[in-house]
Amino acid sequence: MLRLAIAGDLHGQWDQADAQLLEILQPDALLVVGDLADGDVMLPRLLRQLDLPVACVLGNHDAAKDASGRTLARMEQALGDLHCGWSLKLLDPIPLSVVGGRPGSAGGGFYLSPAVKAHWGELSLFDSAQRITAAAVRAPADQPLVLLAHSGPTGLGSEVADPCGRDWKRPACDWGDQDLQEAIRCIRKQRPLPLVVFGHMHHRLRHGAGQRRTLLQDRQGTVYLNAACVPRHGVDAMGKAWRHFSWVEMNHLGVVQLAAHRWYGLDGEVINEQRLLDLQPALS
């Protein structure tokens, strides 16, 4: 069984306690969906110090309002080979392939910010989809494949509480990435795709409208998980500090057996859990 810890949009919330907690939890890998620290390269460097496989894709906030692209370049350089935007990352020694979606995405169909164009160049929706697809095709056929993106794909619903539903402006609409949806369509013609992980659209809806739906599974069996619990650091009513990770367990065939949001105490105790998918047999 592969056990994946997923850190939603960090927005600077990562410290030594997170690293120590991961040592307690012992996941097989850590996936990070972007929006790390508004251009602060110290946080990517901390991720590189972790003693476990890590894959990360940069988000729209990682440009830190710098349209020149230089901040994005520094963030990508600080991450080194942890960054998998538009590319394949093999999470050795575990049997798992991760392919990154378009880095720097802000959702909304297909839009390249000035920073993204300055750093990575101009490209079309189909150019981007082809890059993602080509990376996925190179993944070993005998390993489960995970797509890791900052924004999720279009096609998951257009209501405000859907995984990529727009919640800050009326009318609500589907705010997912069209290139990611096209890549998913192409990839599944050639191989199974058990899991797509993303963030960007925060779980808590604007204007007191409640909580977002954070997991969907389509007819082809692909699980879509929005991991953007923001803030991901906090203190409970008893004054106990907690950290949020989404948690996924998948078998060697790539079938997702368990998906949950978990709020951990710094000692590794699960303070709260929202179980989203559970195919594990019940204990007698």
Q: In sequence order, what DSSP letters do the residues of 7-62 get, joined into one string?
A: E---TT---HHHHHHHHHH--SEEEE-S--STT-THHHHHHHT-SS-EEE---GGG
Domain encompassing residue 97: 2-222+239-259+274-278
In a domain? residue 264: no
pLDDT tens digits, 109-155: 999 999 999 999 999 999 999 999 999 999 999 999 999 999 999 99
Q: Which tokens is 133 given?
A: 């697809």
Residue 201 within a domain = yes
Tell me the β-bridge partners of 100.
85, 148
270-278 and 54-56 beta bridge pairing: unpaired
Handedness of CA 161, 166, 171, 174 (dihedral sign): negative
pLDDT in tens, 53-81: 999 999 999 999 999 999 999 999 999 99
Whole-angstrom Cα distance, residue 170 to residue 160?
9
- pTM score, whole prediction: 0.97
Within a domain: 233 = no
Per the domain annotation, does 185 fall within a domain? yes
pLDDT in tens, 2-18: 999 999 999 999 999 99
In a domain, residue 141? The reply is yes
Q: How many domains would you assign to the chain?
A: 1
**Domain of residue 109, CATH code:** 3.60.21
The CA distance from 18 to 4, in Å, is 15
* Statement: residue 244 has pLDDT above 60: yes
Establish if 17 belongs to a structural domain: yes
Q: Does some domain include residue 134?
A: yes
